[in-house]
Chains A and B, each alone.
Chain A
Amino acid sequence: MDNVIETRKMTKTYQMGDVKVEALRGVDLTISRGEYVAIMGSSGSGKSTLLNLLGCLDSPTSGEYFLEGKNVSDMDMRGYADARNEKIGFVFQMFNLLPRTSSIENVELPLLYDRSGRIKDHRKAAAEALERVGLADRAHHFPHQLSGGQQQRVAIARALVNRPAIILADEPTGNLDTKTSIEVMALFKELSEEGKTIVIVTHEPDIAAHTKRLVEVRDGLINGDYEIVGGKIRGEQASAARGGIARSLLPADAS
């Protein structure tokens, strides 16, 4: 099986002064190539920590994490940086574009740090990524000249430009109105249909409903793992989901 992400008993403990905070308490999660997954959880559930670990922004306290079959937990800081560069595309809630920098230059940014030399023509790759998100005509606009939805699409183009193994989106619609949220989610759906592996972290059931699989995190553990069909949890799994945050995604006949 072609697993993009595989974690084994992954934990993360933060030391806050005298108190130890166990943010993750042993997560086993496997995501295959081409999957479209939502990670849900209330605040403090550990979903952000999980995203940081999956995105190689942080290292696990114990356990193992295989990214495209490679054991990431063994790598040093430099290895983490290179993994972020080559295998991961981030999309953030706050867009996080460089100010006073044109769209195309923002999209080019990951290529600046690409040491593999996979992509020869940076400008061309960036232009193609912008084209893909439908913003070819905004290539030389600055972030402050773009709407929120457009800024987020530039950020998605930036996440795509390095042809990563996985796109990690952290509350990608958190700063957008409903209409633009739907546009952005439609873009994710298209990308998923093209075969991209996408993981979206969210606390909004409406957003999770767009995906194909729902992973529920609670108290630092995976609390539930459901298949989503037509915006609802598949009937057979419904009984298991009754207690958690996934409740609102139960099919009508099961609730």
Chain B
Amino acid sequence: MRQMINMLKTAGKSILKNRTRSLLTSLGIIIGISSVIVLVAIGEGSRVQIEGEINSLGTNLLMVRPGGRRSGGVSLGAGSMNSLTFDDVEKIKSKSSLIKLASPVVTSNEQIVGGSGNWNTRIYGVSPEYFEIRDWEIEQGSFFTDKDLKGKKKVALLGKTVADELFPDQDPTGQKIRIRNIPFKVVGTLKGKGQSGMGQDQDDMILAPATTVLYRLKGGRNIDMINLSSITMDDTYKAEEEVASILRDSHRLSAGQEDDFDIRNQAEILDTMNEVTGVITTLLGSIAGVSLLVGGIGIMNIMLVSVTERTREIGIRLSVGARKSDIMIQFLVEAIVLSLVGGLIGVLLALAITGILNAYSSINAVIQMKIILISFLFSGAVGVFFGYYPARKASSLNPIDALRYE
């Protein structure tokens, strides 16, 4: 015990006696550790951010789209089939036990005229349940109702972008807009959601009753999508199966036939995004890991120089009775202390950098305790690994030669 304390004291003294050299030696580790922590924190931060954005699309969300059509062996891709109808939405609503909300979605790109000019945007024909499924909130005015839906009323809700474009300095509520020369009454505007995880402006759109959009603008009897919300997040996969069986029933598909629709749920999208951000985090982490490795080599380099420079000191220590193991431990402890102190400074630096990033930039960095612990332990391991060779070299010196060394 006393020996160990003495060794730590000796190492500490030697580090303090050569402050500049010690700092330069640790610099590699400081930079390595802080870059590992900061880069992994940025990766983790973007994961958390994307997860939040996907959740902002509406929780427990399930999306049903028509399946891909095959024409003589050629697949025409998802959505190419016209298989979904209002009837399907009603069937899901009445038969499913795990689905809380259901809304048809009919989309159409239209030129909107009104207010101060015109604007091209996408119009979504939906039912009032859609607002809850996708977590939309009213900024001004009110949502349209089931009555509007049944009556194919010409009413519309403007997304924030559309409202800002057409009515820059007035309240659009109660105003008229024209779509394909059909006048629509604006009943309200929606609160902004900003960009989606994929960089799409979620506010550049108009909501109107699904029946109005399908029968007055688009024509035909098929809808583009059904949005559903399951009762709980855990039920999404079960709900997906239930909805699939209801739709197969509704479409009269026999046992051997493929689904003519495609259901995706939020959890799947989340998994995919997590995979992507996981790859990014690993990539950032490994780049930083390389810099940590270089830092370790730096320690070895300086320790080797220091062994040569301190040959006479080693000789003196040997002559007064230090064993080879004493010299070995002294140099090893020095390397470990240097890298641990470097690691500690690196952790503090990383905390400061992420603090600054979070406060003054749009980058979101999330530090995990786990990463701090791992990188701190790793810096100790770097010390042992890269300190071993110089320490061995120091301890293998012959006392007579070492004393004579100039």
The residues of A with any CB-CB pair to B shorter than 8 Å are: 52, 55, 57-58, 77-78, 81-86, 90, 92, 96-101, 105, 109-110, 112-115, 158, 162
Contacts and interface: CB of A to CB of B under 8 A. Distances in A.
A246 B381 CA distance: 60
A96 B322 contact: no
A96 B315 contact: yes
Nearest to B17: A100
Interface string B306-320: 000000110111111
Contact of B321 (A92, A96, A113): A113
12 contacts: A57-B403, A78-B325, A81-B321, A81-B322, A82-B323, A96-B316, A96-B319, A98-B316, A101-B17, A112-B10, A113-B323, A113-B326
A84 B321 contact: yes
Given A78-B323, A84-B321, 10 more contacts: A57-B318, A81-B324, A82-B323, A90-B319, A97-B316, A98-B313, A100-B17, A101-B17, A110-B320, A112-B322
Contacts of A105: 13
Given A96-B315, A98-B313, A113 B399 contact: no
Given A96-B315, A96-B316, A110 B403 contact: no
Interface residues of B, number: 22
Contacts of A78: 323-325
Closest 8 CB pairs of A and B: A85-B321, A110-B320, A81-B323, A84-B321, A113-B321, A113-B322, A100-B17, A57-B399
Interface of B: 3, 6, 10, 13, 17, 312-313, 315-326, 399-400, 403
B6 A112 contact: yes
A96 B324 contact: no
Contact of B403 (A96, A109, A112): A96
Contacts of A58: 400
Contacts of A96: 312, 315-316, 319, 403
Nearest to A83: B321
A101 B317 CA distance: 13
Contacts of B3: 115
B320 A109 contact: yes
B287 to A, nearest CB: 39
Contacts of B321: 81-86, 110, 113-114, 162
Contacts of B323: 77-78, 81-82, 113
Contacts of B326: 81, 113
Contacts of B6: 112
A90 B313 CA distance: 14
A83 B323 CA distance: 10
A57 B313 contact: no
A113 B313 contact: no
Given A86-B321, A114-B321, A57 B400 contact: yes
A90 B323 CA distance: 16
A58 B324 CA distance: 14
A113 to B, nearest CB: 5
A34 B310 CA distance: 36
A101 B13 CA distance: 9
B320 A52 contact: no
Interface centre among B312, B321, B403, by most A CB within 10 Å?
Answer: B321
A97 B403 CA distance: 11
B313 A92 contact: no
B316 A109 contact: yes
A96 B319 CA distance: 10
A83 B312 CA distance: 20
